[in-house]
Chain A
């Protein structure tokens, strides 16, 4: 079965600094990959998705992610973090029985 690993449980960055959240997946075929964000006490919002084409995908709120098949990775990046980006971020792999990673909690320092 497919699986997702998010190696970083918690990351702290300063406001304005760049961000990279790591995601590694295991999937037997071409994966559909997703990043979701969950703010405290809220539901899940889709940031971006990849299923084919350009391996660098752009999402909402200035986020982007790059699919690297050779590394089985789909890392999320943002060039300049804002305080409102503090949340928990989940990587997921599909498209059928969609599996999620354990999440990375992002703290933003003033």
Chain B
């Protein structure tokens, strides 16, 4: 099983619908992140969390919300999806304290299409 699991892997939805992307990890890491990837724009940070009580906005948080339900779970919600939120979404984890490098461990991605 993957250490960082994203569900769903693919989703097609319509404008105005509410969508939730879920991320769970078995690595025991404190830090979790959500990114979106668009061609030519790289990965852009949406939200990040350093523990269950700590949620921070990233570069492009408008139109998104998150929930850190437990150390191992971090969900991304689109309350009312719009077509320009069509993208590949990645969840990632890191553990700066124990590894002292802060490298990110990524899930396999969730491809979202908003029609």
Q: Any chain B CB within 8 A of the CB of A32?
A: yes
Task: Tally B residues with Cβ within 8 Å of A.
Answer: 25
Q: Total A-B residue pairs with C-beta atoms closer than 8 Å?
A: 60
Q: Is the CB of B40 within 8 A of A9?
A: yes
Q: Which of A9, A46, A99, A103 contacts B103 (CB 8 A)?
A: A46
Q: Is the CB of A49 within 8 A of B101?
A: yes
Task: Tally A residues with Cβ within 8 Å of B.
Answer: 23
Q: Any chain A CB within 8 A of the CB of B102?
A: yes
Q: Given the complex, which residues of B lie within 8 Å of A98, measured CB to CB?
A: 33, 45, 48, 92, 94, 102, 104
B interface list, Cβ under 8 A from A? 33, 35, 40-45, 48, 56, 58-59, 90, 92, 94, 96, 100-104, 106-109
